[in-house]
Amino acid sequence: MLHRRPPTTVDWLVAVVVGLFAVAEEVSGRTAAPSRGHLSLWIAAGLIAAAGVLFRRHAPFAILAVYSAANVALLVLTPQMAAAWQFYTQLVLLFTLLSEVRPRGVKAVCGLGATAAFVAAMLAASSPPSGPGDVAVALVMCAIAAGAGLAVRRHRALAEQAAERGELLAREAVAEERARIARELHDIVAHSVSVMTMQTGGVRLMLREDQERERQVLTSVEETGRGAVDELRRMLGLLRGSPAEVPGPRAGLDGLRDLLDQVRAAGLDVTLEVRGDPVPLPAGLDLSAYRIVQEALTNTLKHAGATRAEVTVAYTPRELRLDVVDHGPREGRARPATRGSGHGLIGMRERAALFRGTLTAAPLPSGGFGVRAVLPL
C-alpha cells in the first residue's frame, strides 16, 4: 500500500512544520541541553529530517530505519540530550510506517524495534537522568503514534472493502436488470415474433398457385421474422453474458443487399452504390453502420410512403460515409401522417457517437429527406 504519487498538501504542511520546529528549537537553544555545538549542522539535520518527512510515504520503512539509526549513533557516540523535534519526527515516521505496512509484518516489527532503540538511547542520554515519569510519557506518546497509524490503516482497508462491495453490488444489480430484460424480451417479444412468423408461413401455404406475388411477400415476411428472432436470441445471449452461445452470423455491411431486398419487397424502390475499395471493419463499427442504414430505410418506409431512395456507402482512407436519401412521396400521394417518437434518430446518433462519428438528418430542398453518417476508421 505504498504511495508513489507526489507529496500531497498535507505532506508538505507536516514537513514544513517539522522543519520550522527543528530550526526554531536549534536557533533558540530550547533543547534543555547544556550546549549544542555546530549549530549550522544541526539546522541542516533538521531540514534533512523535514525532507524525509515530506517523502516518508514513498519509502516509510527505509526512511524510519535510516533516521533511527542516525539518531541512535549520534546519541551513543556524542552523548547529549536529544532535541524535542528529533523525538516528534520519530513519532511521525512511526505513525506513517504503521499506517502503510501490515501490522504483523517484518517491517512493522523492525520499525517498532528501531523506535524503541531511539527512545532508549534518548532517555539514557538525557540530562538530568530520566525518571519514571519521563519514561511513561515517552511510552504513551509512542503508543499513541503507533495506535493512530494502525487505526488509519484499518480505516483505509475498510473504505477499500466498502468500495469493492459497492462495485460488486452495482455489478450484481446490473446483471439482475439485464437478466430481467432478457426474460421479458424472451417471454414477450421473441414469442410474439415467432408466432407471427409461423402464422405467416401458414397463410403462405394456403395460397393458390397463381398468387405468386403474395407468396413472395409472405416469404419475405417469414425470412424477416426469422432474422428478427435470431437477432433477439443473439441480444438475449449478450444480456445474459453468454455471447459465445449465440449462433448465427452478425449483421454488417455485407448483408446490405439482403436488407435492400426486404425493403424492396415492402414497396420501397431503393438502390445501392458502393464507392471506394471496401475494407474489413471492426465488428462493432460494421454492426453500427448496418443498423444506421437499416433504421434510415425503416424511417423512409414509415414517414415517406412508397417512394425511391438511394443508399451510398463510401470508403475513404480515413472514414466511412453512409448516405441514405429518399425523394419524398411520389406524385399524387401525400406524405403519411405518422409521427415517430424520435428514438430512431437518437439511436442512429448514439451509434455514430460511439465511434466518434457524426450523423446529420434533415429535409432536402427537393422535398425528400437525407441521412448522412461519417464514421472515422
> Rounded to 10 degrees, what is the CA torsion of 237, 238, 240, 242?
70
Residue 246 is assigned to a structural domain of this protein: no
pLDDT at 36: 63
Q: Based on the number of CB atoms within 10 Å of its own CB, is 309 exposed (0-12), middle (13-18) or buried (19 or more)? A: buried
- Here the CATH number for the domain that contains residue 331 is 3.30.565.10
Domain's final residue, options 130, 151, 176:
130
- 61 within a domain of the structure (yes/no): yes
Number of domains making up the chain? 2
Asked if the structure places residue 139 within a domain, the reply is no
Q: Tell me if 17 is assigned to some domain.
A: yes
Domain boundary among 110, 130, 150: 130
In DSSP notation, 181-248 reads: HHHHIIIIIIHHHHHHHHHHHHHHHTS-TT-HHHHHHHHHHHHHHHHHHHHHHHHHHHHTT-GGG--S
Per-residue pLDDT for the chain (377 aa), expressed as one digit of tens each? 444 668 889 889 999 999 998 888 888 865 455 556 677 888 898 899 999 999 998 889 999 999 999 988 888 887 677 788 888 999 999 999 999 888 888 999 999 999 999 988 888 877 777 788 888 988 999 999 999 999 999 998 888 888 888 888 887 777 777 777 766 666 667 667 777 887 888 888 888 888 888 888 888 888 887 777 777 777 766 666 654 444 444 568 888 888 888 888 777 888 999 998 888 888 778 888 998 998 888 888 776 665 788 999 999 988 999 999 988 776 555 554 445 555 678 878 888 888 889 999 988 887 788 899 999 88
> Would 206 be classed as within a structural domain?
no
Domain boundary among 115, 130, 145: 130
Range(s) of the domain holding residue 291: 252-377
Q: How far apart are CA 210 and CA 28, in angstroms?
A: 115
Strand pairing category for 369-376 and 358-363: antiparallel
| 8-12, long-range: CB < 8 A, 24+ apart | 11/53, 11/54, 11/55, 11/56, 11/57, 12/54
For residue 177, is it within any domain?
no
Q: What pLDDT is attached to residue 299?
A: 82
What is the model's pLDDT at position 330? 61
pLDDT for 248 = 46
Q: DSSP class of residue 53?
A: H
In a domain, 238, yes or no: no
DSSP string, 86-116: HHHHHHHHHHHHHHHS-TTSHHHHHHHHHHH
Q: Is residue 191 assigned to a domain?
A: no
Q: Are 60 and 101 in contact (CB under 8 A)?
A: yes
Residue 141, pLDDT score? 92
Cell 435470431 identifies what position?
A: 230
